[in-house]
Amino acid sequence: MTEVVLFHHAQGLTPGVQTFAEVLRAAGHTVHVPDLYDGRTFDDLEAGVAYAEQVGFQEVVDRGVRAVEGLPSALAVVGFSLGVMPAQTVAQRRPGVLGAVLVGSCVPPEALGSPWPDHVPVQVHGMDGDPVFVGEGDVDAARELVAAVPDGELFLYPGDQHLFMDASLSAYDEDAAALLRERVLDLLGRLGRPLG
């Protein structure tokens, strides 16, 4: 099975993020869920983003990078929205990363100062009407990334919710979230298989 680090979104380490981690654990994976907000959660996305701005987006990323320092090099990273920034940073800069899942966001790899490693498969997930993922251009970065990575996949779901994967929020979409979980578990299962 695969060692996984799951980075939460801008509303913090919500019960829905923990629930997603539990689904991965139930499938046999070891899942770490660092709290990049020191216990704070927010009722809406705007308040969470405002807190991240106050702390500093780079500090949030740095907290994520520090959170994996003591973990084995062979791990997979999953990022939800804001958590994509530390997930992508770890995937691009840390040797040994097995794979990455980016949900609701995607940063052009060059913006993080290093190319995407060819040997690291990536899944990018988002809703086709999400004003953040589509409206702010992340989907374009996602298309470029998956086209450049030999094992890159982009999954678009019908709808306009940004945090559709979080069962504790009103944005939750059960159908899309169930398909997301299935696809993430498929990738993690492939990464966790011994070679030979």
Q: How many Å apart are CA 45 and CA 52, to the nearest integer?
A: 11
* pTM summary value: 0.96
Predicted confidence (pLDDT) per residue in 5-51, tens digit: 999 999 999 999 999 999 999 999 999 999 999 999 999 999 999 99
> Among candidates 184, 175, 173, which has minimal Cα distance to 21?
184
Predicted confidence (pLDDT) per residue in 93-107, tens digit: 999 999 999 999 999
> Among candidates 2, 71, 11, which has minimal Cα distance to 35?
11
Q: Which domains does the chain have, with CATH numbers?
A: 3-190 (3.40.50.1820)
CB 158 within 8 A of CB 170: no
User: How far is C-alpha 82 from the geometric centre of its chain's CA atoms?
Assistant: 8
